[in-house]
């Protein structure tokens, strides 16, 4: 044996001559929708591919596809199975036969990349209706151009679909699945025989109305609302509850991602009024009667802590009452057996003490603002990439949700798949948005924001005292989002949740004030993490 033949065993790379020389092929057929399947399009493709294989003496080793899959993504199950078979088959597949290149993929650049990977394995893509010789650079260029035109055509269709959906929304008509509490009524027919969209309130609508009433008028927490609604017979998760409360669809308006932030008046019936919707979302406050006839008691200047202060023993929100003979107001726990009952004047004064603990002198506004701003920019250098990544993920999810909505509107996916997919994506998006909103770095003008916040927190007690009843309520909720407990045993307040910004600014102001008073060094190396874990004990009066 000659030495050159012996040296062949030391060659590198996969030998692909066997793929190029053989005539083993597989067929891939695909349509985009169920309607195309029913119109025999798959049969036409298959017969065309089989006839092409017969004329060119290809041996068919497998047929893939035969179903409807969108070519907008190469994550198709049947498509992936076909590609894996072509790459790994012991039959040494040399050719993938498709009726047209757009049946193979509409992903443009990704399709070009995949076709190149296959060619390196000795596998070529052959189109029955677009015969191109890809054994030379000119043929490869022609095929790549057709892939790009397929993507361009797909993008045009997508844009037309979005424009059509937007136009429909601007007319007040909904697109996609209707929210919980509504159903489509397909029996409505316009004059002339054209179908007219008609949305009606179904049995779940009464639960939706109850959700808004509990939030707007009873001021219940989301956890309590979920428990109540589930006991009433409707399955409700915390995420779905938040989606319902934030959806203006229920007050007769349309909000959609393709409307670019615009809210449009819808043609569907409203379950609640716009006022109730705004009340439930804390946009406005009112004492008007709700739809069930329950009249919320008039807010009294003497009892601003009503339903805000919680009983320290049972957690029940305290109500208020007037002793007419003495003309004195009292707070009281209405739970049977609980004897928590205290003068409104006393509890108001003790709440002032709590606010006074977090207050600081106005002369400290400037040094506090400068210190926190400096700390902000130091942390920004470390975390800016994280914020950018979160925003990128949110943008990608919005695009994915829009794509799913388009596919559902075009009938490419079922309602069950649409609901499951969109709900998962929206839950993931909500988590990312929550993390972004709570980020310390999510400020457009850091110094201005920090300075204005510091001014509001300076003399916090005096500000609360000078506010009207609505201002007091807003300030209370800002400081203690989940309320504050009154402990009858110690005759003072206990807190579990306090606004973290207030804790940080209050802690820093006290430390700076002490340093200034002690005439300490000019540079203060304080850490933002060194803040109180909760409200410090307030001395009894």
The Cα 16–Cα 116 span in angstroms is 14
What's the pLDDT at 410? Answer: 67
Could you list the mean pLDDT of each consecutive 10-residue stretch along the chain, which spans 541 residues? 64 54 83 57 86 90 75 61 83 86 70 77 84 76 74 74 85 88 73 67 90 84 86 86 91 88 89 88 56 47 87 86 88 83 91 85 76 67 67 85 76 76 84 67 59 75 85 83 86 81 77 69 44 39 34
pTM for the model stands at 0.39
Q: What is the pLDDT of residues 192-201, one digit of tens each?
A: 445 677 899 9
Token readout for 28 is 């891939």
What's the pLDDT at 537? Answer: 38
Nearest Cα neighbor of 358 from 539, 540, 508, 529 is 508
The Cα 479–Cα 80 span in angstroms is 55
The Cα 325–Cα 302 span in angstroms is 16
What's the pLDDT at 244? Answer: 92
The Cα 312–Cα 314 span in angstroms is 6
Q: Tell me how crowded residue 536 is: count the other CB atoms within 10 A of its CB.
A: 8
Q: Tell me how crowded residue 68 is: count the other CB atoms within 10 A of its CB.
A: 20
Judge whether 257 and 401 are in contact, CB under 8 Å: yes
User: Dihedral, CA atoms, 189, 195, 199, 202, nearest 10 degrees?
Assistant: 70
């Amino acid at each position: 044996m000659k030495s050159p033949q012996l040296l062949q065993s030391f060659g590198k790379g996969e030998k692909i001559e066997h793929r190029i020389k053989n005539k083993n092929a597989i067929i891939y057929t695909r349509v985009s929708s169920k309607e195309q399947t029913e119109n025999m399009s798959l049969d036409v493709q298959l017969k065309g591919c089989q006839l092409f294989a017969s004329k060119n003496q290809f041996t068919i080793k497998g047929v893939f596809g035969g179903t409807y899959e969108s070519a907008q993504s190469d994550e198709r199950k049947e498509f992936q199975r076909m590609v894996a078979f072509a790459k790994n088959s012991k039959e040494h597949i040399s050719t993938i036969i498709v009726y047209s290149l757009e049946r193979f993929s509409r992903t443009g650049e990704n399709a070009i990349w995949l076709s190149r990977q296959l060619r390196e394995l000795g596998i070529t893509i052959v189109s029955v209706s677009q015969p191109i010789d890809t054994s030379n650079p000119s043929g490869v260029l022609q095929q790549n151009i057709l892939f790009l035109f397929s993507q361009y055509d797909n993008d045009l269709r997508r844009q037309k679909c979005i424009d059509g959906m937007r136009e429909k929304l601007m007319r007040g008509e909904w697109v996609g699945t209707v929210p919980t509490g509504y159903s489509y009524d397909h029996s409505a027919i316009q004059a002339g025989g054209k179908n007219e969209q008609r949305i009606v309130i179904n049995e779940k609508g009464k639960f939706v109305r109850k959700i808004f009433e509990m939030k707007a008028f009873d001021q219940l927490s989301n956890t309590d609302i979920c428990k109540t609604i589930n006991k009433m017979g409707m399955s409700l998760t915390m995420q779905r509850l938040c989606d319902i409360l934030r959806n203006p669809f229920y007050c007769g308006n349309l909000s959609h991602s393709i409307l670019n932030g615009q809210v449009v008046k819808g043609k569907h019936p409203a379950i609640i009024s716009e006022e109730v919707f705004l009340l439930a979302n804390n946009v406005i406050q009112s004492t008007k009667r709700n739809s069930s006839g329950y009249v919320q008691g008039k807010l009294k200047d003497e009892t601003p802590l009503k339903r805000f202060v919680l009983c320290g023993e049972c957690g029940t929100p305290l109500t208020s009452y007037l002793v007419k003979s003495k003309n004195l107001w009292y707070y009281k726990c209405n739970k049977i057996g609980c004897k928590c009952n205290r003068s409104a004047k006393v509890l108001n004064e003790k709440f002032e003490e709590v606010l006074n603990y977090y207050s600081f002198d106005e002369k400290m506004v400037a040094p506090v603002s400068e210190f926190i701003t400096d700390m902000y920019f130091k942390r920004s250098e470390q975390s800016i990439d994280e914020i950018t990544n979160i925003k990128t993920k949110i943008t990608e999810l919005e695009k994915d949700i829009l794509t799913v909505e388009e596919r559902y509107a075009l009938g490419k996916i079922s309602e069950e798949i649409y609901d499951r997919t969109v709900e998962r994506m929206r839950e993931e998006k909500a988590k990312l948005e929550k993390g972004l909103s709570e980020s310390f770095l999510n400020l457009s003008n850091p110094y201005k924001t920090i300075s204005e916040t510091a001014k509001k927190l300076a003399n916090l007690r005096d500000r609360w005292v000078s506010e009207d009843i609505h201002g007091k309520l807003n300030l209370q909720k800002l400081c203690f989002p989940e309320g504050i407990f009154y402990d009858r045993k110690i005759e003072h307040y206990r807190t579990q949740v306090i606004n973290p910004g207030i804790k940080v600014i209050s802690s820093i102001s006290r430390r700076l004030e002490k340093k200034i008073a002690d005439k300490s060094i000019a540079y203060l190396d304080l850490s933002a993490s060194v803040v109180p874990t909760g409200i410090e004990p307030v001395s009894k009066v």
